[in-house]
A and B are shown apart, each in its own frame.
Chain A
């Protein structure tokens, strides 16, 4: 099934390499090879291609409003956004090095299971299609973005996630972020 699907979609994946100047621009914040070294800035390495592509389009269109990226993608054509998505999806995410705090990690693991994050993001939390990888993402970014979703400030993002986080405590968000960021899947 996956093989045949890939064959049909092959033309969509045969995008050219992204323009080096664009990659340099992205790298300034998202890190060399897509592994972010900056607080609150997400890693792009290893994210599903469709997820990156969709977000880049929504950011360019102004549907997803990110102050630091405002205007940066103006007039960048779809083909370049797709090339960027293919590029970052193919890069390996760095192995997490931060130390696990056993109690917090275990609490985050239980919460993630109970909230059934794995139905969409897959049980290994590596994401698929339009649904992002959570495993190995920066802890501060996971917390930042889930807080924004919970506060209904994640404009342009899927309202499913706003609903999924309704009413959850900040302590629980911290535990989930701690757990997911330390997974080497």
Chain B
């Protein structure tokens, strides 16, 4: 339930509505704008931009227009798993097992790879936007309001989960609180907590953060603040620093602000709500010198592009020039009159984040001319042979991208 924390950019018509309500029904409180619409200026009041529909039904590999996908020379793509609607983040277990989360469908899929074909089953369902992370034979499943621990699922595929929810102290708001989670090189579980609005002063300090925990939920530490909504991160193969994507706010025009790629500085502030992309003051939440002391992004990932899964390439299959390059899936924009994204891009940068360049890698899901799209790349996973898995949340399939000379 979205409570009435301090909303900004409240609409003129809303105050008119409040006046009407007071005249006729004194008890009624004015309705705040829904979270995704907060901050919408009056000049966009007739906009018909709205979040795009997902597809919740299964798609067979044969119905995926694979020939439309474009990759650099030498790379090829195949449908690695089909009929897994709503697939998002992928975590790899042992014995050919992969675990894949979803949002509205509420499922975690378990995909078993026997080397040539894949089978899948639903490990758990009826959860509120669940995702999973695997480490040392055990699986953590985290939804907006629940944490489940499948201990030694590698040896016992039907193990009953232990509920660890109370240990993690999850805040109550739902919006932007789907999570990408992953275990770091330090063995800790990294968990983001998005801002529960488009633009607002968060209702409490527990939001717009990146935290880490021990796997059992103990020893929580807040690592970064002012992070509006990170939904993907990975650790640099050389520096072991965490790099994370972050979604910019909506309703600030077609070209501002950008989604960003960032390096984690422990204790750093990344600007939400009063500064975006390191240098752009917010028009609604105003502060003096809002961008002073704000961490600067490594790269701008495009306005409203929906910068999602992040993966540094550390394998040996792709050519040497791809080593340590950051791959980023951009699910594609809705809050923009001309769509962008719907692709996988590469960020080539120095290990300290300098001299970043963003280049296309996997395209063809989107037709610029008629603004139609058929697929939405969401998450990436590097397989042990060095090939790359890419989940397509729209099609509900997972692609495998491989390279050979």
User: What residues of chain A have their CB less than 8 Å away from a CB belonging to chain B?
Assistant: 1, 4-5, 8-9, 11-12, 50, 53-54, 57-58, 61-63, 78-79, 81-82, 110-111, 114-116, 119-120, 122, 129-131, 152, 156, 159-169, 171-172
CA distance A163 to B94 in the complex (A): 42
CB atoms of B372 and A54 under 8 A apart = no
Q: Which of B29, B174, B372 contacts A5 (CB 8 A)?
A: B372
Contacts of A1 in B (CB 8 A): 370-372
CA distance A167 to B371 in the complex (A): 37
Q: Assuming the A-B contacts A1-B370, A160-B36, are A172 and B25 also in contact, with contact meaning beta carbons closer than 8 angstroms in the complex?
A: yes
CB atoms of B48 and A119 under 8 A apart = yes
CB atoms of B175 and A163 under 8 A apart = yes
- Interface flag for B31 (CB, 8 Å): yes
CB atoms of A119 and B50 under 8 A apart = yes
CB atoms of A61 and B105 under 8 A apart = yes
CB atoms of A53 and B31 under 8 A apart = no
CA distance A73 to B77 in the complex (A): 36
Q: Assuming the A-B contacts A169-B25, A169-B27, are A78 and B175 also in contact, with contact meaning beta carbons closer than 8 angstroms in the complex?
A: no
The number of chain B residues with a CB under 8 A from chain A is: 53
Nearest-neighbor residue (CB-CB) of A168 within chain B: B31
Contacts of A53 in B (CB 8 A): 56-57
Known contacts A61-B107, A164-B33, then 9 further A-B pairs from the complex at CB < 8 Å, ordered by chain A residue: A61-B105, A114-B14, A114-B17, A131-B50, A160-B34, A160-B51, A164-B31, A166-B1, A169-B27
User: What residues of chain B have their CB less than 8 Å away from a CB belonging to chain A?
Assistant: 1-2, 4, 11, 13-14, 16-17, 20-21, 24-25, 27-37, 45-58, 63, 65, 85, 104-107, 125-126, 174-175, 367, 370-372, 374
Chain A nearest CB from B392 CB (Å) reads 15
CB atoms of A62 and B125 under 8 A apart = yes
Contacts A/B (CB < 8 Å), 18 sampled? A1-B372, A12-B63, A54-B54, A61-B126, A78-B57, A114-B20, A119-B45, A119-B49, A119-B50, A129-B52, A152-B1, A160-B36, A162-B2, A164-B31, A165-B31, A167-B29, A172-B21, A172-B25
CB atoms of B28 and A63 under 8 A apart = no
CB atoms of B370 and A159 under 8 A apart = no
CB atoms of A78 and B106 under 8 A apart = no
Q: Assuming the A-B contacts A116-B45, A119-B50, A165-B31, are A82 and B125 also in contact, with contact meaning beta carbons closer than 8 angstroms in the complex?
A: no
Contacts of B174 in A (CB 8 A): 159
Across the A-B interface, the 5 shortest Cβ-Cβ residue pairs: A169-B28, A130-B53, A163-B34, A167-B29, A78-B57
Nearest-neighbor residue (CB-CB) of A159 within chain B: B174
CA distance A162 to B53 in the complex (A): 18
Chain B nearest CB from A55 CB (Å) reads 9
Nearest-neighbor residue (CB-CB) of B45 within chain A: A116
Contacts of A152 in B (CB 8 A): 1
CB atoms of A166 and B104 under 8 A apart = no
Contacts of B50 in A (CB 8 A): 119-120, 131
Contacts of B54 in A (CB 8 A): 54, 130
CB atoms of A171 and B24 under 8 A apart = yes
CB atoms of A163 and B35 under 8 A apart = yes
Chain B nearest CB from A134 CB (Å) reads 14
Nearest-neighbor residue (CB-CB) of B174 within chain A: A159
Contacts of B46 in A (CB 8 A): 119
Contacts of A8 in B (CB 8 A): 65, 372, 374
Q: Which of B11, B31, B105, B374 contacts A166 (CB 8 A)?
A: B31
Contacts of B2 in A (CB 8 A): 159, 162-163, 166
